[in-house]
Amino acid sequence: MQRKKITVYTGPSVSTGALIPRLRESFRGAAIHQTRAGDIDKPDTLDSDTLAFFLPGIVGEDSPYNRDPGQKGNEAIRRYVEDGGVFVGICAGAYYSCREIVYNPPWRREPKTGKPGLDFFNALAKGPLPGLGMRNGAEWFSGCRVASLSYKDKTKQVGVAYGNGPAMFPFDAESGIEIIARYEDMPDRPIAIAIKKIGKGLAIFMGALPYIGYDAQYDATKIAPLKRLMEELKPHEKGRAELWDAIVSLVKQHSADLGRVTLRPKEPIL
């Protein structure tokens, strides 16, 4: 039997330094497959053995998503999801999955705007959050702060790593959208994480970075931005892990419902 896999888009400026180790931990038994521009539309990239396709955030300011995945890549992603796959857009990947983008950090003279064309979420993806935007460097932790998120109908709040990702504002009352988390300290509490059924599949949009958690190995680091991030995340680790595990469980449960995996024991979902 073919081994199940998690496929991650990678390439120059794509931030996978903390994501891939977390995926290996969260999806034990599945292979972690990395794909690059030009390969997404190949038949064996997003096939029925792909439990989820992750489009990560980026480091720096030069987004490769201005060029790729492109029209052919978008078509391949959409076919995969409509046939039962799971798309997970994180930070820059969440911007990319929305209908329109406005990226307006204080260090730019003019905002970046665009219509990527994937159109999974009929929403405006706008960022960074006021007061939390930071210039990205070349490391996965550069430009990261901690944002306050509420989830489970505002009954729980947690600090989650944030790296210039979008707040998402739907253009209409779109059917099939379920809001998982909101930015708690922002006016009108815009969407931070949401899911949507698309055909037989599922799309997950994450403006924040719940896969980044406190790690004691960095307690003694001399890298100031990394040390600060770990100190800020430490008090929130339990809630952060709960939120991430719930998102992972959504992916696993969806695959189980389609008969692609068997869960033993059955995974909890939000």
Say if 224 falls within a structural domain.
yes
Q: Is residue 262 part of a domain?
A: no
Q: What is the pLDDT of residues 105-134, one digit of tens each?
A: 999 999 999 999 999 999 999 999 999 998
Domain count of the fold of the chain: 1
Q: Is residue 263 part of a domain?
A: no
Predicted TM-score (pTM) of the model is: 0.95
Whether 90 contacts 54, CB under 8 Å: yes
Give the contacts of 43 (CB within 8 A, at least 6 positions apart). Answer: none
Q: Is residue 94 part of a domain?
A: yes
Find the CATH number of the domain harbouring 56.
3.40.50.880
Residue 9 within a domain:
yes
In a domain, 269, yes or no: no
- pLDDT tens, residue by residue, 183-231: 998 889 999 999 999 999 999 999 999 999 999 999 999 999 999 999 9
Closest CA to 205 of 123, 102, 130: 123
What stretches of the chain show up as alpha helix (H) in DSSP? 19-26, 70-82, 92-97, 224-233, 237-257
Domain that holds residue 30: 5-257
Give the count of alpha carbons within 13 A of 191, CB side only.
25
Asked whether residue 37 is domain-assigned, the answer is yes
Examine residue 264 and state whether it is found in any structural domain, yes or no.
Answer: no
